[in-house]
Amino acid sequence: MFRDLKFSTLEEVILELDKIENAKKIKTTATWSFYQIIKHLSDMLEFSMTSYPVEAPKIVQFFAGFVKNLIFIQGKMFRGLPNPVAPSKREEGDHVSELKLYRERLNRLQNFSGKFAPHPMFGEITKAEWFKLHSIHAALHFSYINYE
């Protein structure tokens, strides 16, 4: 199944990432491979600093604001929500290179001083909200990674 994780800072994400990278054995418990999870998280970091490939209509963004508030209050994302850019089947890939890129993007995000892209569902959000949202997002996906 999945682990119950809750992160509110990027530092917590990095600490868990250290544990995962130092593990002898890694197994994912859902459709996505370890590579796909890390690639997805890494891509989302990049998109927040550049632009997202998709954007919800403004009316959807308006109502999604209520969801955003709930995510921030609970400190968790909802499992199983539709994601139009999510992989539909398991694919393996070069997780070592993707982990390196993910770490580079985490570092770049922490030092980013430019204008953040609008979130595809939530629209304009602050830097602090981006950091918290990326942390909560990582907790959701890391919860599907088991390691020894």
Q: What is the pLDDT of residue 20?
A: 96
pLDDT per 10-residue tile (average), the chain, 148 residues: 94 98 95 96 97 88 89 91 79 96 98 96 95 98 96
**Separation of CA 101 from chain center:** 14
pTM: 0.94
Q: What is the pLDDT of residue 59?
A: 86
Q: What is the pLDDT of residue 28?
A: 96
Helix segments in the chain, DSSP class H: 10-21, 34-49, 58-74, 95-110, 127-142
Tell me which residue of 140, 131, 111, 104 sits closest to 48, measured CA to CA. 131
Structure tokens at 37: 């999870």
Domain spans, the chain: 10-83+90-147
What does DSSP assign to residue 111? T
Backbone angles phi, psi at 102, to 5 degrees: -60, -45
DSSP string, 117-147: PPBTTTBS--HHHHHHHHHHHHHHHHTTEEE
Q: What is the pLDDT of residue 69?
A: 93
Q: Which residues are CB-contacts of 40 (< 8 A; sequence separation ≥ 6)? A: 32, 86, 87, 141
Q: What is the pLDDT of residue 83?
A: 73
